[in-house]
Structure 1
């Protein structure tokens, strides 16, 4: 007997004594209103039918249940609510078994927790990632999880949003058994029949007793609250999660559910939720570039990397980790040996942390080969140049690639600033040249700016996006200009920070104000981390074309002239006592700043932290608007994703353009016009920003136009 319900996304079939309930809502079995209705109807049917002795919940396709239906985000709720569905599953008078394969995430895991027994197979991923969207599990997850696995384990799982594999889920007590085969239906049916044969009772998670001794559980909550307050720096939902788990310890189950719901609704209403949801959708939207819709990627089986420095080695590690063979080119044997050593150092670090075995490292390194001859790249499908940031040097490399690489090979440059059109124009196949701007460390940082020069072929752009997918990077399409999206905007808000420093704010106050806003580091800490010499070289390169009327703050140049390049030299804006990475303020730097103020004839004034952030953000937003206006970025959301993934912009604020929308564009424009009274050349409002304010529109209105 087969009964279909709710637009056939949930089907039920009587298999002997077992009602098999299958969720089949492609692509991930998300919990849409139809799925929720179907689950409710299935449990009602099971309770009403004397022939049913147990219920088995399974997911069709690759997952059990992938989580909430993102198509419902931001829309009015449609009944039945997920808490009602979970409570109904738990109240079923016949044993309900959840058979888990693939993803059981968010609401998917909450459905499984409401079942009476759980079986999982290898490859299953269980987690409650709601914190990443500014929420908490709102369908009993904060109440059932600690009752099932204890307060400490529950807090770790929910606050991190991480996924537990099947083995860990068994060890934690999230599931009752592991199936030995990959056939989830067979494993689920076998487990149900075993339970029926043993006359296993209905066993409700709300009655589970893993919370144990109240004092120990409350101590875990107190520790989590202290750590969360420190680590989550102003984030809203993590502390609400701690409150909800505390309610699981202190309150009866029904009261705990009521408190969870109240806290969940508070999270829904928080502005952080809007920023995190925007980030969630934006990072999916950036994957769609015009070229990826019209062109197919070229073959990507063998990668070449020219340059074995920090960046080249990081790119090589990212490719090796993706299973791609990598050929590295360096100018001599000693440089090549250093390049290999850079790569091995990354893997040795993972071995030291217990995250990689020696055997696995050896296996990975078999895919690496090195040469001092460009002829070793004749079979490469894509070559990434990662040499010194100098146009003539890069053009010389591309002349060699033009000579040796096969027809159709993609030739990529990792330049941060230089004119890729000029690089492409210098060889015989400009249609094959693209920019792939990785961020350091390239094996860790998620952002990849795909820089699209004038003459490039559409399938080369599609290949770059395909490479990003293989490397697990988030690609953002950018046009050619000095600095592309990220570094172009960075140069402007760095200038705003420099001007504030010369006008009276200390670099240490500016960094502290920017960190309080939510960035992991302030602008002067970033300079010290990256190396002051990099920015210095860029400033010297631009000196000939700089507008002589533009303000130019020389403080950073004074430090560089002394060889103070930041962490790598032991001092920059900060002092780095022997071996430390966290700097301390340097009185000598403050003396240099005072001397520079005097030389420039500036009487220093005080800045509030709030004024620092207003200027810093106005500069960032205004240049972001110019980047969109000029077509360097396709949409405002491309600027947002660039800053979320490459520059540490606080995710819960959604990115600079989303933040501007939340503050209100008229307010941002008013700030820019106020600051322009002091420096009209620097503070020229973007025509796009002016136009949006005049029309009463926002940046979000431009996000559908890729």
Structure 2
């Protein structure tokens, strides 16, 4: 018997226990152990039922990530699940914690399933560019029907135990100890004389599956164009409606192999591991512990400040929200209530939960009320003089050991920290709007930020369920510094002959969630104008700036807030329409630069914008502003709408070949000027035939060797 699987006898019941900490992943030894345990139970004439449970805090939470990308080792998971289902001895899977991916497929192979009331089940493989490959697409529709199976397999989101019971995925809910509940249920099976009930022998319920499948196919093609795995998931579920189990399983394996060979699968797996790696601070000394954060405060009750306050309330942390006067404070508190009320209307939050969370948000107008806060986050106007006033006052009133954080998106955190007598306690916490929705959190490390404060900031991110990434201090940090290059090139394309619709359309086809001009209209063109004015004052004079945005701002066309920007908007409608006033502005901008407007092809538009991201990302890496190339990918995947199936800008460049990227960068440098000065790291890696990923791995190995040296 494999060391991670135990077989115990309880009278006529065989208890099989998986014990593979921390999440009972389906490693090869676990798969082997399951086969041996079920075979031993089957061979024992005194065993009349089998109970499958897991030790620790969860049922099987999925595949073993250590085996990702490795050659398959026998027994395969489909073989394990088939062996369990074909057993002549009735079996019950006892689910607690989570049963995800292969874990749920193992449970579906068992003849009966019970779940603790707080458990969750799901098939999230689509998020890694795959589909369930051990019978999940064939067995789940036979239990829950086509509509629910499509929702879980194509959407990839887990469901709670109560819904799983309602959908016939599990047979009963229980409270308390899984072993006791599992043995009791197995005894009941024996008492009632029930034998095996094989999911694979059931028929798919319902008769309108063709219509459901066609509708879901059309929806996926419309909402996520270019994605490979979701359409294969649909095809696999369709096979369950038309084929007997054996043929359906064979079709599932064919479709699984197609997904496995897709470049998108590699990109999504990269994104998965990159997010796990991003939470690690490379040079954090051993033994550094985060400070306890029991209470928080936010300065500024605008959209961003309120969103940040709600993040803490959502996490159960009491938070004070400070505004300059009572009138502004009441507006902020009303904004908080309206935000939660919208969630209640959508059905994603109960009235009771809304009131509980709002009770954690206390409005104040006096800085003295922040004296006991463990963490204070400033979210005021992006102006250094305003930041100075705030931090000088916080320095005066906050207790020793309180962390003072700035939500600045681009200003010099070191200068901000210098406004206090405790720069070691100052850190950047750059949330993205809307803060209560967006997952990304840039944790900005100042030159004097202590390791303890940095570790606390990362712990805060995890507590708020954010994807926290450490970045260094520079203009715009990582995300916005790169975005400036991307947006600038998009504007230059307008001067060369493109329209906002063409640029946005090309980048949406590539997979971006929104085009750059739709994004600017959404956030407001006046925000970018303030940044441009500051950059023009500090950047070298020979660098040329585009002028279309300046013309729009001068005309009072600031985007959705004024009803017109790069696009025009009808009252109460965010659908972008053509702005007839823009065409003469584009013509004037082209004439001023001496450019003859011409038609631009889609590939050129995409490369002009994305290679600007990559080139700047390479500079950021060499400067040490980002710890890893994969951290840059995480930032763009979670904060800037970069398509996950492309892996992020740095991974995408690797997949194209850095020599090809560099050739285009050099061409644009010769034609478009010093904005396109090739990054030395890009030149070096292209010459060596290496990738950003390889450079990152080599640097990590070197650092490990240095740390382990005597």
TM-score, normalisation: structure 2: 0.97
Per the TM alignment, residue 291 of structure 1 is displaced from its structure 2 partner at its CA by 5.5
Contact 1:291 1:458 in 2 (8 A): no
Aligned residue for 1:437, secondary structure, equals strand
Contact 2:496 2:597 in 1 (8 A): yes
1:69-121: CA deviation from partner (whole Å, max 9, x where unpaired): 00000010011000000000000011011011111000000000010000111
Counterparts in 2 of 1:595 and 1:680: CA distance versus 1, 3 Å: closer
Contact 1:292 1:465 in 2 (8 A): no
TM-score, normalisation: structure 1: 0.98
Distance 1:573 1:533 in 2: 13
Aligned residue for 1:568, secondary structure, equals coil
- Aligned residue among 454, 457, 461 for 1:464: 457
Q: Which residue of 1 aligns with 2:181?
A: 187
Matches within 5 A, 1:36-185: 36-179=31-174, 181-185=175-179
1:203 aligns with 2:201: no
Distance 2:351 2:616 in 1: 47
Distance 2:602 2:536 in 1: 32
Contact 1:291 1:462 in 2 (8 A): no
Q: Which residue of 2 aligns with 1:614?
A: 607
1:268 aligns with 2:260: yes
1:389 aligns with 2:382: yes
1:316 aligns with 2:278: no
Distance 1:543 1:251 in 2: 65
1:214-253: CA deviation from partner (whole Å, max 9, x where unpaired): xx11221111111111122110010001111111111111
Aligned residue for 2:671, secondary structure, equals coil
Distance 1:62 1:544 in 2: 57
- Aligned residue among 243, 250, 253 for 1:251: 243
Aligned residue for 1:323, secondary structure, equals coil
Matches within 5 A, 1:299-338: 299-338=292-331
Contact 2:204 2:241 in 1 (8 A): no
1:419-458: CA deviation from partner (whole Å, max 9, x where unpaired): 0101111211111111110000000000000001111111
Matches within 5 A, 1:220-619: 220-290=212-282, 292=284, 294=286, 295-619=288-612
Q: Which residue of 2 aligns with 1:628?
A: 621
Contact 1:410 1:433 in 2 (8 A): yes
Distance 1:167 1:291 in 2: 44
1:532-580: CA deviation from partner (whole Å, max 9, x where unpaired): 0000011112222232211211110110111111111111100011111
Aligned residue for 2:17, secondary structure, equals strand
Distance 2:501 2:339 in 1: 32
Q: Which residue of 1 aligns with 2:703?
A: none
Distance 1:680 1:559 in 2: 25
Contact 1:497 1:510 in 2 (8 A): yes
Contact 1:291 1:459 in 2 (8 A): no
Matches within 5 A, 1:649-668: 649-668=642-661
Distance 1:333 1:633 in 2: 41
Distance 2:354 2:99 in 1: 31
Contact 1:122 1:182 in 2 (8 A): no
Contact 1:150 1:212 in 2 (8 A): yes
1:58-79: CA deviation from partner (whole Å, max 9, x where unpaired): 0110111000100000010011
Worse-superposed segment, 562-571 or 133-142: 562-571
1:569-601: CA deviation from partner (whole Å, max 9, x where unpaired): 111100011111121121211221111111222
Aligned residue for 1:677, secondary structure, equals helix
Aligned residue for 1:682, secondary structure, equals helix
Distance 1:184 1:418 in 2: 53
Unaligned runs of 5+ in 1: none
Distance 2:341 2:302 in 1: 17
Aligned residue for 1:436, secondary structure, equals strand
Contact 1:635 1:702 in 2 (8 A): no
Distance 2:12 2:153 in 1: 36
Aligned residue for 2:159, secondary structure, equals strand
- Aligned residue among 7, 10, 16 for 1:12: 7
Per the TM alignment, residue 359 of structure 1 is displaced from its structure 2 partner at its CA by 2.5
Per the TM alignment, residue 680 of structure 1 is displaced from its structure 2 partner at its CA by 3.1
Q: Which residue of 1 aligns with 2:708?
A: none
**May I ask how many residue pairs the two structures share in their alignment?**
698
Contact 2:668 2:676 in 1 (8 A): yes
Distance 2:154 2:630 in 1: 27
1:501-521: CA deviation from partner (whole Å, max 9, x where unpaired): 111111110000000000110
Distance 2:165 2:574 in 1: 39
Per the TM alignment, residue 403 of structure 1 is displaced from its structure 2 partner at its CA by 0.3
Distance 1:698 1:371 in 2: 52
Matches within 5 A, 1:27-42: 27-42=22-37
CA RMSD in angstroms comes to 1.0
Distance 1:347 1:238 in 2: 32
Per the TM alignment, residue 286 of structure 1 is displaced from its structure 2 partner at its CA by 0.4
Distance 1:370 1:288 in 2: 35
Per the TM alignment, residue 211 of structure 1 is displaced from its structure 2 partner at its CA by 2.7
Aligned residue for 1:475, secondary structure, equals strand
Contact 2:490 2:609 in 1 (8 A): yes
Distance 1:125 1:638 in 2: 30
Contact 2:204 2:240 in 1 (8 A): no
Contact 2:130 2:229 in 1 (8 A): yes
Distance 1:92 1:396 in 2: 73
Contact 1:628 1:635 in 2 (8 A): yes
Aligned residue for 2:676, secondary structure, equals coil
Contact 1:95 1:202 in 2 (8 A): yes
Distance 1:321 1:375 in 2: 25
Distance 1:588 1:651 in 2: 36
Per the TM alignment, residue 164 of structure 1 is displaced from its structure 2 partner at its CA by 1.0
Displaced runs of 4+ in structure 1, greater than 6 A?
none
Per the TM alignment, residue 26 of structure 1 is displaced from its structure 2 partner at its CA by 0.5
Distance 2:324 2:425 in 1: 24
Distance 2:522 2:201 in 1: 52
Per the TM alignment, residue 481 of structure 1 is displaced from its structure 2 partner at its CA by 0.3
Distance 1:364 1:388 in 2: 26
Unaligned runs of 5+ in 2: 701-710
Q: Which residue of 1 aligns with 2:663?
A: 670
Distance 2:337 2:284 in 1: 35
Distance 2:124 2:560 in 1: 35
